[in-house]
Amino acid sequence: DQQVKQNSPSLSVQEGRISILNCDYTNSMFDYFLWYKKYPAEGPTFLISISSIKDKNEDGRFTVFLNKSAKHLSLHIVPSQPGDSAVYFCAARGYNNNDMRFGAGTRLTVKP
């Protein structure tokens, strides 16, 4: 069962503009959410996370927003840079869960 869903397989934006990647989840027991970035032939790299007690977490150009009532989170990248082009995975886990549940990923392309 797909407990974490990323419904957009790809996204293309112009350099300097905002990139918004979306993620939905179904399991209300999830209370910690993460975004990973993956380049070809490399493993996923941790980008940013958010706990369910918050609705926003910011780190430089990256901001994650969490809407618990809608079971929805989004990653905003602004301004987008060509080096941001990668596949972005949304992931979720419960407090005592050992496994992370990943979405299928969104391929972001930032055009110069």
Partner 1 sequence: GAGVSQTPSNKVTEKGKYVELRCDPISGHTALYWYRQSLGQGPEFLIYFQGTGAADDSGLPNDRFFAVRPEGSVSTLKIQRTERGDSAVYLCASSLLGGGRDTQYFGPGTRLTVL
User: Where does this chain bind partner 1 (CB under 8 A)?
Assistant: 4, 6, 9, 31-32, 36, 41-46, 49, 51, 89, 91, 93-105
* CB nearer partner 1, residue 27 or residue 31: 31
The C-alpha atoms of residue 57 and residue 65 are separated, in whole angstroms, by: 7
Rounded to a whole number of angstroms, the minimum distance from the CB of residue 82 to partner 1 is 22
Residue 17 makes CB contacts below 8 A (sequence gap 6+) with 78, 79, 80
* CB nearer partner 1, residue 42 or residue 83: 42
3-state secondary structure at position 109: strand
* CB nearer partner 1, residue 13 or residue 90: 90
The C-alpha atoms of residue 49 and residue 34 are separated, in whole angstroms, by: 4
Rounded to a whole number of angstroms, the minimum distance from the CB of residue 92 to partner 1 is 10
Rounded to a whole number of angstroms, the minimum distance from the CB of residue 36 to partner 1 is 8
* CB nearer partner 1, residue 30 or residue 110: 30
CA angle in degrees (0–180, nearest 5) for 14-16-18: 80
